[in-house]
């Protein structure tokens, strides 16, 4: 069994190579993970969830949320509150105990994220906060909050792998669910609500290998990790991990 973590194009090359030699393969590829916030939550609770789901580790987690679906009637209020919270975050050295947000991994990644932010500007999306680098050494970028023009905006489809969260309002929850599932990726998602039964129903309907309720990016070695659609093949962790890396054998005996 082979294993690869990387971009979709690289994963496809690995898959073809493995298939041609009869090997199985486990692939962890791209994603454009979504977070759905239901209307029963307060605006402040939504902000807390957004910070957890989208900005942890500068967004440099494959399962981090980048697309955020909020009730239209609360969208502007939530984004205003979030802007205030983001303005209090000053990226700095991870060696400083006061730092809550560090740099991006390298220059290439920083330039990629800045390029996608520039595309957002050109497409008419609104940069509510951030979008700029910080002076001094290091690949530091302000945490960035974007109100997209439409569900077709590039930032709703292209993975940034950085501290860039894109927001769109919805009129009804089924509409939001349809938009979430329209993505070619299906790695992870989260549903946030005080109504647990409703949240679990939506979690079941989302096309993703992992769905959290009222949390995001939490991992347990006993629970399978992996995606569907363009986000990969196979699973890590849990019994599924063992199945992918072992062969079944049947032994039959006559007494």
- E strands within the chain? 2-5, 25-28, 33-37, 65-71, 126-129, 144-147, 164-170, 185-186, 188-192, 210-213, 228-229, 232-233
* Phi-psi region at 161: left, alpha or beta (left = phi > 0; alpha = psi -120 to 50): left
Catalytic residue among 12, 28, 111, 236: 28
User: In the block, which residue shows the tokens 């290998």?
Assistant: 209
Residue 229: Cβ within 10 Å count: 16
Q: What gap in Å lies between CA 32 and CA 66, rounded to an integer?
A: 6
Q: What gap in Å lies between CA 185 and CA 7, rounded to an integer?
A: 12
194 part of the active site: no
Q: How many C-alpha atoms does 76 have within 13 Å on its Cβ side?
A: 1
DSSP assignment of 122-154, as one string?
Answer: HTT-EEEE---B-SSSS--B--EEEE-SSTTSG
Six-digit token string for 66: 């980048």
The answer to whether 219 and 245 are in contact (CB under 8 A) is no
**CA 227 distance to own-chain centroid:** 11
Q: Which positions are annotated as active-site residues?
A: 28
């Amino acid at each position: 069994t082979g294993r690869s973590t990387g971009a979709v194009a690289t994963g496809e090359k690995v898959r073809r190579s493995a298939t041609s030699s009869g090997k199985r393969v486990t692939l962890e590829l791209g994603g454009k993970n979504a977070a759905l916030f239901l209307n029963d939550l307060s605006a402040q609770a939504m902000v807390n969830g957004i910070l957890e789901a989208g900005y942890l580790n500068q967004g440099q987690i494959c399962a981090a949320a980048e697309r955020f679906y909020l009730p239209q009637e609360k969208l502007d209020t939530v984004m205003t509150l979030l802007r205030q919270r983001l303005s209090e975050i000053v990226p700095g050295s991870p060696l400083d105990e006061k730092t809550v947000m560090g740099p991006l991994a390298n220059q290439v990644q920083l330039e990629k994220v800045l390029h996608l932010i520039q595309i957002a500007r050109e497409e008419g999306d609104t940069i509510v906060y951030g979008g700029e680098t910080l002076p001094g050494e290091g690949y530091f970028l302000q945490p960035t909050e974007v109100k997209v023009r439409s569900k077709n905006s590039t930032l709703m489809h292209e993975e940034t792998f950085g501290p860039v969260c894109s927001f769109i309002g919805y009129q009804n929850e089924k509409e939001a669910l349809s938009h979430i599932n329209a993505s070619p990726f299906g790695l992870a998602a989260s549903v946030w609500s005080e109504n647990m039964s409703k949240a679990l129903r939506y979690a079941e309907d989302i096309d993703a290998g992992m769905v959290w309720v009222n949390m995001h990016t939490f991992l347990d070695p006993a629970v399978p990790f992996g995606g569907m659609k363009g986000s990969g093949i196979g699973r890590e962790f849990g019994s599924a991990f063992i199945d992918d890396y072992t062969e079944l054998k049947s032994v039959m005996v006559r007494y």
